Structures are given as structure tokens and as C-alpha cells.
């Protein structure tokens, strides 16, 4: 059993310490999460735009839906959804580009680094 002075000291420390949530600036955290989401979305949107002319009607519709969803997710502060959709957009753009057999990749700087 814990003695009373030790328990009182522990209780005082718990009450005096602010919760971790108060130590965080939620506005700054939301701004950073939005920046992360935009960093994933922006290149994927550019890649989708580069291959849109070679896309089938179904692929173009899928790109449009995914672009709208990712853009909305980044704007409303849901970076997980935005980043997931950005990944899907990039994968679809890569498949369209590979099928087209174009000589130049849509992101040559990344291929040169490998």
C-alpha cells in the first residue's frame, strides 16, 4: 500500500502537469499535415495531367474521381486519404504511361537518380 504523502505528491504532479494536447498547436499541426498531403498530391496530379490524353474513358473518369477526392481530402485536413489517393493516381498514371510506350518518361529526373 502506498503511503499518503507519496500518493498526495503524485496526485499533485498529475494535476499540475498540463495534458499533452495543450502543449500542441493544433493550427500548426493541421497546416503541416495539409502541406504533407499537398506534397503527395501535387506531383501525382501533374503526372495524371501528362498522361490524360492517352487514358481510356474509364481511366480518365477514375483519374477525375481520384483527383477530386484527393484534393478535397487535402483541403479538409485528412492527409491519410489524400496521400492514399495520390498514390493511386500515380500508379494509374504509371500504368497508362507504360501502356502508351512513350519514349520519354513523365518524371525523368526520378529515373536518372536510380
Give me the mean pLDDT over the 104-108 stretch: 56
Dihedral, 15, 21, 24, 29 alpha carbons, nearest 10? 180
Calpha distance 47→38 (Å, rounded): 14
Confidence of residue 80 (pLDDT cuts 50, 70, 90): confident
Specify the length of the chain in residues: 114
Residue 73 maps to a domain: yes
Higher local confidence (pLDDT), 102 or 43: 43
Q: What is the pTM of this model?
A: 0.64
Residue 68 maps to a domain: yes
Strands (E) across 1-114 are located at none
Domain of 64?
Answer: 56-99
Residue 45 has a pLDDT of 93
Domain count, the chain: 1
Residue 71 maps to a domain: yes
Residue 60 maps to a domain: yes
Residue 1 maps to a domain: no
Residue 16 maps to a domain: no
Calpha distance 108→85 (Å, rounded): 22
Calpha distance 41→91 (Å, rounded): 12
Give me the mean pLDDT over the 60-79 stretch: 89
Residue 13 maps to a domain: no
Q: pLDDT tens digit string along 13-61? A: 556 655 554 457 788 888 888 888 899 899 999 999 999 999 989 999 9
Amino acid at each position: 500500500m502506498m503511503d499518503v504523502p507519496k500518493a498526495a505528491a503524485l496526485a499533485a504532479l498529475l494535476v499540475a502537469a498540463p495534458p499533452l494536447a495543450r502543449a500542441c498547436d493544433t493550427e500548426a499541426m493541421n497546416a503541416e499535415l495539409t502541406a504533407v498531403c499537398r506534397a503527395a498530391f501535387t506531383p501525382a496530379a501533374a503526372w495524371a495531367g501528362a498522361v490524360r490524353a492517352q487514358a481510356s474513358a474509364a481511366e480518365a473518369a477514375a483519374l477525375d474521381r481520384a483527383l477530386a477526392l484527393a484534393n478535397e481530402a487535402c483541403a479538409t485536413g485528412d492527409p491519410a486519404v489524400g496521400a492514399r489517393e495520390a498514390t493511386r493516381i500515380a500508379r494509374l498514371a504509371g500504368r497508362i504511361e507504360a501502356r502508351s510506350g512513350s519514349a520519354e518518361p513523365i518524371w525523368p529526373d526520378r529515373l536518372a537518380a536510380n
